[in-house]
Amino acid sequence: MSALFEPYTLRSLVIPNRVWMAPMCQYSAEPVGPNAGVATDWHFAHLAARAVGGTGLVLAEATAVSPEGRISPADLGIWNDTQVAALRRITDFIKGQGSVPGIQLAHAGRKASTAAPWMGGGPVGADAHGWTPVAPSPLPFDDGHPVPHELTVDEIQGVVSGFREAARRALDAGFQVVEVHGAHGYLIGQFLSPHSNRRDDEYGGSFENRIRFALQVVDAVREVWPEELPVLFRISATDWLTENDEDEREGWTVDETVRLARELQAHGVDLLDVSSGGNAPRARIETGPGYQVPFAERVKAETSLPVAAVGLITDPQQAEKIITEGRADAVLLGRELLRSPSWAQHAARELGGEVHKPDQYLSAV
């Protein structure tokens, strides 16, 4: 039996295999009006195809807990019941294919109010349905980006409440896994890193203060998420900043990721989804096949928190080796699943594993 296709249990939830779909924004929702942030036929087709293809856990894209938490005006949201109804149609289908539906809850912070990547990805103003972003400190993400509004303590608590209500709606929408997005330079990651957090109150300065918001969000999600279902947390293990960078501000480090992993586990997180980067636009990132796996491996070696690895994992043998060598408990595929929605089925054939196959497609087996 292939290790990649062994079931994996988190709390009482059994995920049928270790091939998981990473959240990937589609920028395909209506930006304004009664259907703002509502999942469309595109989202259904995108997520359903990966479930049909045998992916064990299908994680929906970064879904905003409030309108101003969207990365772009065309992002998915989960701040109202209309959005819930559209998502329930998707989760019902994913479960019907034997896969597990998950959702990533997110707030973009200072990286909000931008255009879709194929439209340049830069900041957009009110004329393109944009808004003023918020952040822990009034530091723009990059040249040409607006200075964000610095959140007050009361406003921070409002965002925490937004995550709580979003988790409640995610459960109502039929999701079985919820992931808190603390990576890629979005709001939670902005609080974590001294590169973007210059506060001098209880949310800034020391490591304990910078992780406070993340832990409060996790606590809020856990308040409403069933005890028997898992909570994941996505982290950027490093900002990839060094002392030789032009920007001399210190960044978030792998050492801090290991420390945070222990705290997250104590607050009810069941698995750490380990990515990197996104908070410093000119950081030099050394990419290559499996380039982020060592970060997941270190967390797994130095804590008891399960981990998933992500980042240029494209080959079945490569993925199998990550699991069999104990470097991670699962792998998340992003672009490779865009290229090949049935990657899990192809990998199962190559590795001798078993994976769900829809009756309608049995003639192709």
Provide the annotated active-site residues.
186
Q: Return phi, psi of residue 287, to 5°.
A: -100, 160
- Structure-block tokens of residue 318: 């490569």
Contact indicator for 180, 233 with CB cutoff of 8 Å:
yes
d(CA 365, CA 357): 8
CA distances (Å), origin 198, targets 131, 143, 145, 189, 194:
23, 18, 18, 13, 6
Contact indicator for 236, 189 with CB cutoff of 8 Å:
yes
E-assigned strand segments in the chain: 8-10, 13-15, 19-21, 57-64, 100-106, 134-135, 149-150, 177-182, 231-236, 271-275, 307-310, 330-333
Q: Any idea what DSSP says for residue 236?
A: E
Q: Return phi, psi of residue 356, to 5°.
A: -60, 135
For 317, what's the count of Cα atoms within 13 Å in the CB-facing half-sphere? 1
- Structure-block tokens of residue 332: 């998340």
Q: How many other CB atoms sit within 10 Å of the CB of residue 119?
A: 13
- Structure-block tokens of residue 278: 């996104």
d(CA 280, CA 249): 10
